[in-house]
Structure 1
Amino acid sequence: MLRTKGFTLIELMMVVAIVAILAALAYPSYTAYIARSNRAAAESFLLEVSNRQQRYLLDARSYAADLATLQMSPPAEVGRNYTITTAPKAGTTPPGFTATATPIGQQITSDSGCGTLTIDEAGTKTATGTKGVAGCW
C-alpha cells in the first residue's frame, strides 16, 4: 500500500470550516468590545470637559461656550467616533453647561444601545439609547 504524506482535501476543508465558525462567533464579541472601548474614551473625555468647565467657572464666573475656549480638543480615538460639544445653558441661574458626545460613523450602529451621552454642571449623566444611564455610563 502506498502511503502519502500531507493532508487530504477533506481534512483541510474541515479545518477551514472550524476556523470560519470560530471567526463568526468571535467577530461580534470583538466589535462589541471595540464599541465599549470607544464609549469609555468618550465618557472619560466628557468628564475631563466637565472638570475643565468647573475650573473655568472659578476664573471667568461663567461656563465656556465651546471646547476651544477651554483650550481642549478631543483625542484622536474620541474624535473618530464621537462629535464632542459643550455649551452653556441659556438663561439659567445659577449658570450651567451641557457637554455632549454624539456618535458618528460606525459607532452609531455598533453602540446603538447607548446613543448620545451627556453630562451637565451637576454631574448628571444621560444616554439617549435603550440601555439607559446605568448600562452606558
Structure 2
Amino acid sequence: MSAAPTGHTTHTARQEWATGLTVFAAVTLMIVGVLAIMRGIAAIAQDDLFVTTRNYSFAFDLTSWGWIHLALGVVGVIVGLGLFTVSMWARVAGVVIAALVIIANFMSLPYYPAWSLVMIAGSGFVIWALCVAKRDEAFESQRRGR
C-alpha cells in the first residue's frame, strides 16, 4: 500500500480482488445454503417429489437425504455470514462445507440430477473464491476498514 498525497491509503487491485472474492464466496455460500435448506425441507416433507433410483450404490432414504441437506444448508448460511468478517476460521469452514455440499449432491445425483449439478457448480465456485484470494490481501483490506 502506498500513501496518497491526501494522506489516505490506496488499495491495490489485488487487495480489491481478494475482498471481492471473499464477499462473492460469502454470498454464494449463503445462497447455496438457503437452496440446500429448501431442498432438505422438500425431501423431508414430501418424498415423492424426488425420483427414486433402484440399484444405486449410495442409496439412502430420501428423508435421510433431506436431513443431510438441511443440516449442510444451515451450517452453510452460518459460515457464509462468518465470511463477511474475513476470518480464517470462516474461510476454512467455507471450503469444508462447500466440499461436503459437493459430496452430498454427487451422492444424491440420481434423485434430482439438474439441481445437484447446479449445487455442485455453486459450491465449486465457493471453494475457488476462498482458495484463490491470498490470506494476507483479504485480511489487510479488511483491517484497513475496506
Q: TM-score range by the shorter chain?
A: 0.3 to 0.5
Q: Quick one: higher RCO (CA 8 Å, sep 6+), 1 or 2? A: 2
Q: Greater share of strand residues, 1 or 2?
A: 1
**Larger Rg, first or second structure (1 or 2):** 1
Q: Greater share of helix residues, 1 or 2?
A: 2
Name the TM-score, length of structure 1 as normaliser.
0.34
Name the TM-score, length of structure 2 as normaliser.
0.32
